[in-house]
């Protein structure tokens, strides 16, 4: 299967923000970028074109529970078992990337699940899945496939180079 030019463009557009938002956190930029691609895509796989990304600049599908003090927007979510859910709204994609890092760091389930201690992108993808980030049992495998297909481990190397 040919790689998507839209995904390549998306990666180029957002890689600096992803690398910056993960610096010193234990989060692999490759994993965050793969999540951003999956969570912001529409039903054709076009990243950044999903409804929450387009209307709320929410590139990770983060819901707005009672602890969220910022703006929120309602979207139909029949697959979630509720007809409507509220999602966080951000001024920019970069704000969404930064808040996704905070979201992972502030939720004990991700720390307990080993997300920040993972030694590889694949290990971190599995820890994120096992910590309940997504409903699908194949979420980690989808992340790893995107990481491999688009050589996203180069983002991890860029982050390391930046520190040197």
Q: What is the 3-state secondary structure (H, E, C) of the chain?
A: CCCCHHHHHHHHHHHHHHHHHHCCCCCCHHHHHHHHHHHHCCCCCCCCCCHHHHHHCCCCCCECCCCCCCCEEEEECHHHCCCEEEEECCCCHHHHHHHHHHHHHHCHHHHHCCHHHCCCHHHHHHHHHHCCCCCCCCHHHHHHHHHHHCCCHHHHHHHHHHHC
Specify the residue for token string 């704000």.
95
Q: What is the pLDDT of residue 80?
A: 67
Q: What is the pLDDT of residue 163?
A: 61
134 by Cβ neighbours in 10 Å (0-12 / 13-18 / 19+) ranks as: middle
Please list the ranges in the chain whose pLDDT falls under 50.
1
Length of the chain: 164
- Please report, for the chain, the start and end positions of each structural domain, with discontinuous segments joined by +: 5-57+91-163
Gap between the Cα atoms of 74 and 87, Å rounded:
6
> Token pair of 75, please?
């979207």
Q: Please tell me the CATH code under which domain 5-57+91-163 is placed.
A: 1.10.530.10
Give the pLDDT confidence of 111-131 residue by residue, as tens digits.
999 999 999 999 999 999 999
Gap between the Cα atoms of 11 and 36, Å rounded:
9
Nearest C-alpha neighbor of 145 from the set 13, 23, 33 = 33
The pTM assigned to this predicted structure is 0.94
- Contacts (Cβ under 8 Å, ≥6 apart) of 158: 15, 19, 29
């Amino acid at each position: 299967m040919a790689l998507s030019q839209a995904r390549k463009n998306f990666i180029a557009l957002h890689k600096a923000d992803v690398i910056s938002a993960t610096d010193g956190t234990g989060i692999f930029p490759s994993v965050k970028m793969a999540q951003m691609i999956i969570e912001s895509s529409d039903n054709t796989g076009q990243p950044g074109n999903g409804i929450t990304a387009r209307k709320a600049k929410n590139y990770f599908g983060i819901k707005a529970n009672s602890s969220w003090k910022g703006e929120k927007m309602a979207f139909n979510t029949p697959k979630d078992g509720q007809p409507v859910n509220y999602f966080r709204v951000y001024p920019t994609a970069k704000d969404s990337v930064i808040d996704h890092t905070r979201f992972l760091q502030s939720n004990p389930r991700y720390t307990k699940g080993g997300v920040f201690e993972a030694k590889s992108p694949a290990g971190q993808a599995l820890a994120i899945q096992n910590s309940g980030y997504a409903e699908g049992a194949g979420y980690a495998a989808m992340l790893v496939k995107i990481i491999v297909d688009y050589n996203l481990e180069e983002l991890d190397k860029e982050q390391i180079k930046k520190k040197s």
